[in-house]
Amino acid sequence: MSESEKPISRAGGRAKTLAVVIAVVVILVAMLFYRPIIRRVWPVQKSTAASSALAPQVTVKLAPGVADALIVEPVVIEQLRIKTATATKATLPIEIKLPGTLSLDSTQLEQVRCRFDGEVVEIGKVADGARPLQFGDSVKPGQLLAIVWSRELGEK
C-alpha cells in the first residue's frame, strides 16, 4: 500500500478535531474578555423608536453672508461630542536623516560634442523660457542648448 493510500488513523483525526475545538474555545474566551474593552472604546448608544420620535428635529443651517460656514445648535454639538480649540502654529515634524545616493539614469543621457573649440557664453532656456537649462532637463530637437564663442570661427 502506498503512502497516499494509507487510511487516516482515528488518533490523527481526533487530534485535528481536538485542535479545532480548542481554537473555537480560545476565540470565544477572547471575545468575552475583549467585549468590555471594545464597549469602552466605542460606546453603543441605545435608541428606541419612541425616544427618536419624541426627540426634537435639530437642523444645521448655512450661515447667512459667510461662505463655507454652518450654524450648529448646541444640542447637536453635545450629541456629536464636537470639541473646538484655538488654532495654533503647527510644529515641524522630526527631521529624519537617512543614507542614500542620487544618480542619473544613463539610458536617458546623451552626449553633445562641439565641433570646434570655444567658450560657453550663455546657457539655453527651458521650453517656456522661465529658467536656464539644468542638468537632467528634457530638451527637444532643434532647441538652443548654449551659445558658444569661438575665436576660430570668428576669424574665418
What DSSP element (H or E) covers 148?
strand 146-149
Q: Residue 40: what pLDDT?
A: 64
Q: Each residue's pLDDT tens digit in the chain (156 positions)?
A: 555 555 555 556 777 888 888 988 888 877 777 666 666 666 666 655 555 555 556 677 888 888 888 888 888 888 888 888 998 988 888 888 889 887 878 887 778 787 888 888 999 998 888 899 988 788 888 889 888 888 877 776
Q: Residue 37: what pLDDT?
A: 64
- Domain boundaries, given as residue ranges, for the chain: 8-41, 113-156
CB 148 within 8 A of CB 114: yes
**And the C-alpha cell for 69?**
460656514
Q: Residue 112: what pLDDT?
A: 78
Q: Residue 49: what pLDDT?
A: 52
Q: Strands, DSSP E only, in 4-154?
A: 61-62, 70-71, 119-123, 146-149
Q: Residue 140: what pLDDT?
A: 87
Q: Residue 55: what pLDDT?
A: 56
Q: What is the DSSP letter of 22?
A: H
Identify any residues that bridge with 47 across adjacent strands, giving them in sequence order: none
